[in-house]
Amino acid sequence: MKAASVAAAAAVLAGGVTAHRANHRQAHQGLFEKRGHNESEICVPGCTTIWTTITGSAGLYFPPTPTSTSVPVTTKPPATSSAAAIVPTPIPQVCPTPGTYTFPATTIVLTETTTVCGASTTEVPSGTHTLGGVTTVVETATTVVCPYATTKTEGGVVTSVIETTTYVCPSAGTYTIAPITTTVTESLATVAVPVVSTFVPGTYTAPAVVTTVTVTNTVVYCPFALSQAVPAPTVAAFTAAEVAPPAATPTTVAVVAAPSPSAAAPKKPSTAPLGVQAGNKWAMTYTPYGTVPGSGCKGPAEVMSDIKKIAAAGFTTIRVYSTDCDTLPNVGAAAEAAGVKLIIGIFIGNVGCDNASPDVAEQIAALKAWARWDLVELCVVGNEALFNGFCSVGQLKDLIEHTKAELGSAGYKGPYTTTDVVSAWVGNDVSSICGVIDVVACNAHAYFNAATPPSGAGAFVAGQLAIVEGVCGLPGYVMETGWPTQGNCIGVACPGEEQQKVALVSIKEALGEKAVFFSFTDDAWKKPGECGCEQHWGSAKVFGI
């Protein structure tokens, strides 16, 4: 707590929120230090593989987009694609001369999840950059067999390919396998880099297209869209368990007084409410990681089953944190099938959130390639990046603007925010961030306040949100809130299954229509943490899932 406005509550909060929050955040960060794509299929036991395309400068450029014109010309026959499409990646069609070309509809049916090498674009400054490769975290001496995306040049033609390599990790540590280093002299360049793309089973269709080109040897890309997903087993409807809190007893809940909105942060027009606001169960966090240590990522069928269960319990939105572990294709397809929306995210897990960060570029490229904006309700850039010291206020503001420009160019027109703990919002001059977001958001866990029992969780979280809403004068939402079932007592805040039920019902009744409940399942792969609680935030049982 840094701001003067919170000094009055510092004595109470020091025994709860601030004393335990750092450990809690480190455990959540560990989620993204173990990112992977079906590790069991590509890596021998004993290691966790992170599919990370580290983007940077390269000599690959997408061809120019064809320019439409109304000048009458003779209709040309369909151009010949450079290669037969066996997976639903955009088909490059070469138009050798100016004219109007007709490309017939194309349908591809995949019967199993297929991984191929594709390409994405990113902007990089001049200098030497590393791209491609796979970063792997191993816990012991291990031999890793992994596929990776790279490029090959034959006859002057550069193509993206997937290679397989065997790499010996001599001891525990983090290793980057098969990286490529290159240097660019331009001040800023838009480049294409090889990435690994995964497509879930289903029917993909590229519709018929009639286009007019005016430039010789124009290349037109005809993208596919998932028109019909492979149906998942029917999930029976679930009724959320409504758990009444115990008889009320006098409780004092310590919350920080809301500061006055900064004069440098003018109030924006009111933003339309997110989600379906008639109920009190808006959203739940979801990560497609296995619930057993070493089990890797969940497959499409298991993700589909999970998301349908969450939807059947009455939730309208799913929050995901990043793009790893096939989150976009798998969770996206499940969300569409279940009729729910997504809160997507750009996750920052390292100090210095530069716009040229390879990890940021990879996440943005993955979102642009996916581009199912009809499923997206909100984009969250950074999760506690200020609190953890990963970003300065200026860096985070620049990153949000960069993300808006990149995703906006790909068609996303929805709202943006960043989320952090209250101390980060009131302990910094965030007026510049207020100017580039549409709503404010906070992560508020009443368990870390020593003065809050489970029955007071709703009042505490609502008070925290009110503080953050006052900072920017914008409508606000809680991006994480929950209560653990196991761990240590922090003052009067004790974990337990019954305590969790009481706390979550309290939160649901107070502001469930504006809160994202953390989380769907327990996370057995995490470390227990100082509180002994980090593995035990799964809340599915409370909601009858």
Q: How far apart are CA 535 and CA 486, in angstroms?
A: 8
**Greatest Cα pair distance in the chain:** 82
Strand partners, 478: 442, 515
CA distance 527 to 26: 10
Cα(105)–Cα(99) distance, rounded to whole angstroms? 19
* Cα separation values, 53 from 143, 148, 149, 316, 405, Å: 21, 9, 8, 32, 21
Separation of alpha carbons 310 and 306, rounded Å:
6
**Environment class of 249 (CB within 10 Å of its CB; exposed 0-12, middle 13-18, buried 19+):** exposed
Which of 362, 377, 406, 480 is catalytic? The answer is 480
How many Å apart are CA 429 and CA 427, to the nearest integer? 7
Residue 415 · residue 376 · CB < 8 Å: no
Q: Active site includes 480?
A: yes
Q: What is the DSSP letter of 459?
A: H
Q: Which of 17, 47, 12 is nearest to 423 (CA)?
A: 17
DSSP 490: B
For residues 51 and 325, give the distance between their C-alpha atoms in angstroms, rounded to a whole number.
8
- The span from the CA of 419 to the CA of 387, in Å, is 10
The catalytically annotated residue of 39, 362, 377, 384 is: 384
In Å, what is the CA distance from 216 to each residue of 90, 103, 157, 494? 20, 17, 19, 71
Kind plus residue range of the DSSP H or E element containing 26: helix 17-33
Rg (CA), the chain: 25
Specify whether 384 is catalytic.
yes
3-state secondary structure of 164: strand
Active-site residue numbers? Answer: 384, 480
